[in-house]
Chains A and B, each alone.
Chain A
């Protein structure tokens, strides 16, 4: 079953993370529904494996719950979540020594989604480079601004912008 997604601003995400620190489970649920698909997509782009991405999705929010007390708002809640996600992914990769990703189509065969959505995700992981995948996910799914993405990935804003447009063009050519 897919996440029942909701839209939220950065300010609301901030508020929910802080509420998590006080034990507010509704806030965690809201945070999950607002950001879960972005976290999952980001994990999928690194791990290229549906089951592993699902585990990281779970671990990420458990970490959020446990670490919310130490969260310092800098107006970048999504960046914080993505950092946690990335750390979990790399941790998993180190653990599994799986540095060579599996073929995207194989690992997504059991993806539970409508055929159109499944095809989109498969093509997304197939035709875009890992860096392009992360840029597009951070902008299109996580809602990060290009400047924020540039900071997170240590790239120039213009580079992020170009790569984003190029990636979108590739997908347009594909569909």
Chain B
């Protein structure tokens, strides 16, 4: 449902019914002299008077059959501003006709519902009937919801007559675009290219389909507007054209261009200009200091040029729709599809941002899928002669090979945990890899359009240990939890003991003479705390065994809480003597493809699911990491 209809529906539902009160309070109307009745004048389009010569032709839109049907015949000349309608070329779709009843009925059915009455797909129930018409014509009748459509085909399968019911548009919606096309084609069976320009809803009572026709050899062109309510071919008024053109520029500019002032109201001027024998509409949109100028051909209403202000970076990129339009203009291409359907993204080449637009293949002869680049700030079309044609065409395998090359390992040596391909907020497509390589967990992002490595994160031991510190604070008995993290089976691991253990039996108090001197050197508040001491000779082994690091790595390993007592070659840290078992909740474990084991637990501190990764190491396990676990991984 459109936003307009939603608003209408909401206010309809919200409005209270006070009709009873109103009628109670309304007595006899106050006596007044009724004003002379003025019947509203039926609007007569200016083209009816101006184009008197074509009026008779247009009048061939004859309503017959009790006045309830619009009959359309192939002799109806439409609004053809160039007045040079050719007659060459075959009729559309007439080659090798399939004249079976089923085929004709099927073709006819396609012209009614659900396309025909767009707002109501429910109750779609066609009744088809075929009979032989006069002069070897075939008459197909379709009944739908009380409406009757009639199609007349020649013996060559060409549609020559179409009767569409004048629906109650308020209740049933517009005629279909397909019907609008057929109405126009009945006048131009020699058209080679038919382009529907969409439905222009001017108001609830005013809506048009725009249908553009081009001759086979481009020697003529015609633009039609078909009333979406009645199927009549009409020429819109200047005001309607103004609305249509402004809407077009609106779609092109917003929402990305001038994004800093999206909700500002631009000044818009529309002017019909005659210059050097040419006539065109000029639409000037002024938004702040930026002025966009659009030119539309006055006859075809085709966009013919755009002037884009030279924006600075601070103003943001131009709209990608504007870029697409500019490109299509430059290459004299018809959109052929909605601007929203074009594949367009931002790429950075040489430090500059460009819109990379894929122009799809229109047909087999003319155009293959083409990559084009438009400067994202100035709208200039840029050609990169020396650009690798595969630029932007990296597939998954190529991306994977580039990542392996970057990490310096072979594909056999790396275990890929997961990959992802997606678009980031800037519109760039990236591949993301998470893998075990070089004995580490690696996260690598690579730009899909260039193969450029965007980021590389390594989950190394220092990060893991930093994570320990984050989780358990600076006051921790590294000695204790390091020693007690050695388990023959990780499933038996007591996570509380691992991280919070302060088993007094592990407390080592060296009875050495220097202890008093050292103790007295401590700040007073630290003297109240217990301390664990470990001999320097053992420390290297402990760190290596349980953390995979050496003493030399300690400064980078968040072991700042561990103090070296250089005097005696021992290490000390403040012991943690809290035994708080309810701080943890274990959630089981799983074995990864490479043999590593992940233990899952929830910490009361972080309230988040965490995972400890262990790597088998002899009889026990090496603590590889302890990180927050992202469920999306």
> Which A residues lie at the B interface, using CB under 8 A?
1-5, 7, 9-11, 14, 18, 20-23, 25, 28-29, 32-33, 36-38, 40-41, 44, 54, 57-58, 61-62, 65-75, 111-114, 116-118, 120-121, 124, 136-137, 139-141, 143, 145-147, 157-159, 161-163, 165-166, 168-172, 175
Contact = CB atoms under 8 A, between A and B. Distances in A.
B250 interface: yes
A143 B7 contact: no
Given A21-B34, A58-B21, A72-B35, A137 B11 contact: yes
Given A58-B22, A170-B263, A111 B30 contact: no
Contacts of A54: 16, 18
7 shortest A-B CB distances, which residue pairs?
A69-B32, A120-B10, A40-B15, A75-B40, A37-B15, A117-B10, A117-B13
Given A69-B31, A69-B32, 5 more contacts: A57-B18, A66-B29, A114-B13, A140-B7, A145-B202
B15 A57 contact: yes
Given A69-B30, A137-B11, A146 B17 contact: no
Contacts of B263: 166, 170
B22 to A, nearest CB: 5
Contact of A145 (B6, B19, B203): B203
Contacts of B19: 3, 29, 32-33, 36
A1 to B, nearest CB: 5
B243 interface: yes
Given A69-B31, A75-B40, A124 B7 contact: yes
A63 to B, nearest CB: 10
Given A21-B32, A22-B29, A2 B203 contact: no
Contacts of B202: 145
Given A21-B32, A158-B268, A161-B246, A3 B16 contact: yes
Contact of A158 (B35, B171, B205, B270): B270
Contact of A38 (B11, B30, B39): B11
B367 interface: no
Nearest to B19: A32
16 contacts: A3-B15, A4-B17, A9-B205, A11-B40, A14-B40, A18-B34, A22-B29, A36-B15, A41-B11, A71-B35, A114-B13, A121-B14, A145-B202, A145-B203, A169-B254, A172-B3
B86 interface: no
A37 B270 CA distance: 34
Interface in B178-204: 202-204
A70 B35 CA distance: 6
B307 interface: no
A136 to B, nearest CB: 6
A35 to B, nearest CB: 10
Nearest to A166: B263
A27 B115 CA distance: 36
B506 interface: no
B263 to A, nearest CB: 6
B265 A163 contact: yes
Given A7-B170, A162-B268, A168-B3, A157 B29 contact: no
B29 A40 contact: no
Contacts of B41: 75
Using C-beta atoms within 8 Å of the partner chain, give the interface range for chain B.
Answer: 35 or more
A55 B18 CA distance: 9
B12, B170, B263: most-surrounded residue (chain A CB, <10 A) = B12
B216 interface: no
Contacts of A25: 23, 26
A121 B204 CA distance: 21
Contacts of A168: 3-4
Given A145-B202, A157-B239, A168-B4, A58 B35 contact: no
B8 interface: yes
Contacts of A172: 3
Contacts of A147: 239
B124 to A, nearest CB: 23
B14 A20 contact: no
A36 B16 CA distance: 9
B312 interface: no
Nearest to A10: B40
A82 B44 CA distance: 27
A36 B33 CA distance: 26
A140 B22 contact: no
A1 B31 contact: no
B22 A28 contact: yes
Contacts of B250: 162, 165
A69 B255 contact: no
Contacts of A61: 22, 26
B14 A112 contact: yes
Contact of B7 (A20, A28, A171): A171
Nearest to B266: A162
B12 A69 contact: no
B272 to A, nearest CB: 15
B577 interface: no
B15 A70 contact: no
B278 interface: no
A41 B15 contact: yes
B243 A161 contact: yes
Interface in B213-263: 239, 242-243, 246-247, 250, 254-255, 263
A44 B16 CA distance: 12
Given A72-B35, A121-B10, A66 B30 contact: yes
Interface in B37-65: 37-41
B206 A121 contact: no
Contacts of B34: 18, 21, 69
A21 B6 CA distance: 34
Contacts of B5: 140
B22 A73 contact: no
B9 interface: yes
Given A9-B205, A165-B250, A111 B29 contact: no
A156 B38 CA distance: 28
B610 to A, nearest CB: 38
A172 B269 CA distance: 26
Contact of B14 (A21, A66, A111, A140): A111
Nearest to A70: B32
Nearest to B206: A145
B136 interface: no
A121 B7 CA distance: 8
A23 B29 contact: yes
B555 interface: no
Given A147-B239, A157-B239, A2 B13 contact: yes
B25 interface: yes
B412 interface: no
Contact of B28 (A23, A33, A113, A158): A23
Contacts of A69: 29-34
A28 B26 contact: yes
Contacts of B29: 20-23, 65-66, 68-69
Contacts of A175: 3, 6
